[in-house]
Amino acid sequence: MLRLIDRVLISLCVIAFLQTPGIAQSTIPAPPATPKHPVTDEYHGVKVVDDYRWLEDWDNAEVKQWTAAENARTREYLDHIPARPEIKARLAKLLSEASSRYTSLSYHGGTLFAMKMQPPKQQPMLVALRSADDAASEKVIIDPNALSDKGSTEIDFYVPSVDGKLVAVSLSEGGSEDGTAHVFETATGKELSDHVARVNFGTAGGSFAWNADGSGFYYTRYPQGNERSAEDANFYQQIYFHKLGTESGQDTYVLGKDFPRIAEIHLSSSDDGKWILAAVSNGDGGQYAHYVMDSSGKWTQVTQFQNEIVGAELGTPNDPSLYLLSRHNAPRGKVLRLDLAHPQISKAEEIVPQSSGAGANKNVRASITHFMPTDSRLYVEEEIGGPSRVRIFDHHGKQLGTLPAPPISAVDDVVHTTGDNVVFRVATYLVPAAWYSLDSASGKTSKTALVETSPVTFDDAEVVREFAVSKDGTRVPVNIIRRKGTKLDGTNPALLTAYGGYGISLAPHFSGALARLWLDQGGVFAIANVRGGGEYGDQWHKAGNLTHKQNVFDDFVASAEHLIQRKYTSPAHLAIEGGSNGGLLMGAALTQRPDLFRAVVSFVGIYDMLRVELDPNGAFNVTEFGTVKDPEQFKALYAYSPYQSVKDGTKYPSVLFLTGENDHRVNPMQSRKMTAGLQAANASDHPILLRTTASAGHGIGTSLNEQIDQTSDVLSFLFDQLGIQYNAVSH
């Protein structure tokens, strides 16, 4: 489950640059003494020595003392960078002046639900509105900020009942993602007595689906009590049913005893609640099986892992169908339709074929990622190398048009309201995101009241989309944000980011205050759509997973070299950042090409690829990364594993590792071991720093204040290491 949060990590670090020669770096204390206690493992005849195995044990007092010493060192350095207070104050001011942001919209029983982030509140809250055009009708159902004065309580996810009168909410603490279900009345915000523990966790996530009459809900359940061994406590997710007004101990088993140990279940119901859909993924590698339950309670398995069906949606009550996203003989996706009365995959009818890229658009390689069925239409979301579009079809596959959007934008989050009407979100790099509504009868699209505004504008900026050429000749998109008239003389400080995993695409997104700060200082920001993502479909993903993972790192290095060759920047002015799977990318890039970058920022990353699968969430990632148990996969893992690739006497760039104590997706020991290894091996004067947050996890649920602190630290680190003088410019 790394992939769900990793989009967020990209936006936590955007940079302001102004090159000023001769800026003195802040004094950096020496790192704490870190003894080596070698442990040798043998994999397929290869002996591997691990000097810092002891840092894996968080229960060890010495590990906690070492971590505290590393934190103290990092704070001593960061807190004495002269510009940090001004940077933090500027960030806090601009973020507090930003408008509210609405996400995770859903429509039930005539009510529109949304998660609303309203600075300076620390956490998003759940609200209800009559429509997206009537912001004045907004009512708060639950505000987690009122539950914790530190902003540590978060909403993991929510699902309203079919009639919209009740809503089930998963709440957790401190970024742990260890969620408990609560139920609230929509009209009053009153909480019912129902509590169901462990419906969500960082390994397999969590989900709800209400029954037709709102008397209870189906939910994803982790093992309780002594049902499983401690090692399996966060595996073997199953489906249970909770009847309102009863104790959770009376909940009934529904489905899942035969699911894999690493099953991840997503539940949904039809608009009338007569059908329940369970999408079951086999870990994080992209294999899915689908089950439907009819009104009698009978479950039917519709697809199996080998069928290459990667998405499914139930039709409306006026259209009792099941729609499927297939990649069988269609790596960029096609949409199939099944009659729910006879849901056999062999009877599926192709409605929307794979995009052929024919005619005027012959070079367009569009990949279907999601779709939304309405009464008589299908709204089909497609990625085109990063940017996206939504095409409209009828239920027979006839194309009816495309939702309007500017160039290099992301059109996503299509939400069905009534009939064939939808609301949808449009995001770009330079304009705040906005929700639009489409009236199907008139064909009119209009901006709703759910529009984000920013205290800064970008009339002086532009986005250019270029292509780097990777080691094997593959063309890799690189989106470059710059001020108009930027001189290409190799002196611009630049920040390059990418992800490259799980079929996740890095789509255009607005960074607001952070991007404005960064551009005002003359910086260049680049986002590379490397392989491993889903920008061009399943082939693009599979070309960067398992034994092909090295392609991701080659694409990233090629993107960096492209920026240098085009004279956007130079190695002395180039910084890189990434998080989670993108943190793995940072580790591989800095160990494979330490000469290419001056500074690296890595959030909650994976670095020891030989040990990652031993952690609970690491087992879910085996289908994406591979396992040391397989000889060929071990060979690939060992070849690029950042921790094992650290070499004594190498001049490494400056590195800042950030992690959270409550991270259940990537074990914080990954950052501890990588920090220790680099500190011991580094032959340069550049610092290797570790920042561990006690009140955060993988990034989900991080409070606004902690985000400001983190970003201030990252900016200060990069300014100091690149010799940059922060210059406050108002826009």
Q: Would you state the torsion angle of the CA atoms of residues 328, 349, 288, 402, taken in this order, to the nearest 10 degrees?
A: 90
Give the H or E element holding residue 407: none
DSSP letter, residue 532: T
Three-class DSSP category at 727: coil
Cβ atoms within 10 Å, residue 446: 11
Residue 26 has a pLDDT of 53
Strand pairing report for 299-303 and 288-293: antiparallel
Q: Measuring CA to CA, how many Å separate 155 from each of 44, 140, 703? A: 45, 13, 12
Residue with token string 């094997």: 472
- Contact between 546 and 624 under an 8 Å Cβ cutoff? The reply is yes
- Contact between 509 and 410 under an 8 Å Cβ cutoff? The reply is yes
Closest CA to 510 of 410, 627, 398: 410
DSSP letters along 412-461, please? EEEEE-STT-EEEEEEESSS--EEEEEETTTTEEEEEEEE---S---TTE
Q: Measuring CA to CA, how many Å separate 371 from each of 251, 374, 704? A: 33, 10, 32
DSSP letters along 691-718, please? EEETT-SSBTB--HHHHHHHHHHHHHHH
Which CATH number does the domain housing residue 628 bear?
Answer: 3.40.50.1820
Q: Measured at the alpha carbon of residue 46, what is the angle toward residues 45 and 52, in degrees to the nearest 5?
A: 135
Residue with token string 């690739």: 645
- 698 assigned to active site: yes
- Contact between 149 and 465 under an 8 Å Cβ cutoff? The reply is no
- Contact between 221 and 239 under an 8 Å Cβ cutoff? The reply is yes
Structure-block tokens of residue 348: 């599926």
Q: What is the C-alpha to C-alpha distance for residues 701 and 679, in angstroms, rounded to an integer?
A: 31
- Contact between 534 and 542 under an 8 Å Cβ cutoff? The reply is no
Rg of the chain's alpha carbons, rounded to an integer?
Answer: 25
* Assigned domain for 250 exists: no
End-to-end CA distance of the chain: 39
Cβ atoms within 10 Å, residue 328: 16
* Assigned domain for 462 exists: yes
DSSP letters along 74-127, please? HHHHHTT-TTHHHHHHHHHHHHHHSPPEEEEEEEETTEEEEEEE-TT-SS-EEE
Structure-block tokens of residue 236: 């073997």
- Contact between 505 and 529 under an 8 Å Cβ cutoff? The reply is yes
Strand pairing report for 276-282 and 288-293: antiparallel
Q: What is the C-alpha to C-alpha distance for residues 479 and 528, in angstroms, rounded to an integer?
A: 6
Structure-block tokens of residue 578: 């990434």
Phi, psi dihedral angles at 162 (to 5 degrees):
-55, -40
* Assigned domain for 281 exists: no
- Is the bond preceding 120 in cis, omega lying within 30 degrees of 0? yes
Q: What is the C-alpha to C-alpha distance for residues 691 and 248, in angstroms, rounded to an integer?
A: 39
Bridge partners of residue 325, in order along the sequence: 311, 335
Instruction: Write the burial class of residue 385 (CB in 10 Å: 0-12 exposed, 13-18 middle, 19+ buried).
Output: buried
Q: Give every strand in the sheet of 388-394, ordered side by side.
A: 367-373, 377-383, 388-394, 399-402
- Contact between 380 and 354 under an 8 Å Cβ cutoff? The reply is no
Residue 698 has a pLDDT of 66
Instruction: Write the burial class of residue 330 (CB in 10 Å: 0-12 exposed, 13-18 middle, 19+ buried).
Output: buried
* Assigned domain for 571 exists: yes
Side chain identity, residue 477: P
Phi, psi dihedral angles at 33 (to 5 degrees):
-60, 135
* Assigned domain for 391 exists: no
Q: What is the C-alpha to C-alpha distance for residues 43 and 610, in angstroms, rounded to an integer?
A: 9
pTM beyond 0.75? yes
- 182 assigned to active site: no
- Contact between 330 and 537 under an 8 Å Cβ cutoff? The reply is no
Residues 6+ apart with CB under 8 A from 104: 114, 115, 157, 158
Percent helix, percent strand, percent coil in the chain, to nearest 5: 25, 35, 45
* Assigned domain for 586 exists: yes
The count of structural domains within the chain is: 1
Q: Which of 698, 703, 712, 716 is an active site residue?
A: 698
The whole domain housing 541 covers 2-94+456-722
Bridge partners of residue 138, in order along the sequence: none
Closest CA to 400 of 366, 443, 371, 437: 443
DSSP letter, residue 400: E
Q: Which of 161, 248, 580, 645 is an active site residue?
A: 580
Q: What is the C-alpha to C-alpha distance for residues 608 and 626, in angstroms, rounded to an integer?
A: 13
Q: How far is CA 283 from the centre of its chain?
A: 16
Q: Taking the chain (731 residues) in consecutive chunks of 10 residues, what is each chunk's mean pLDDT? A: 40 34 57 96 98 95 96 95 92 85 95 92 93 95 89 92 97 87 97 95 91 97 92 94 96 96 96 96 92 96 96 95 97 96 93 72 77 97 95 96 94 94 96 95 95 91 97 97 95 95 93 78 92 95 97 98 98 95 97 98 95 88 95 98 98 96 82 97 97 73 79 90 80 58
Q: What is the C-alpha to C-alpha distance for residues 300 and 278, in angstroms, rounded to an integer?
A: 10
* Assigned domain for 388 exists: no
Residues 6+ apart with CB under 8 A from 288: 279, 280, 281, 282, 303, 305, 309, 310, 311, 312
- Contact between 597 and 576 under an 8 Å Cβ cutoff? The reply is yes
* Assigned domain for 208 exists: no
DSSP letter, residue 688: E
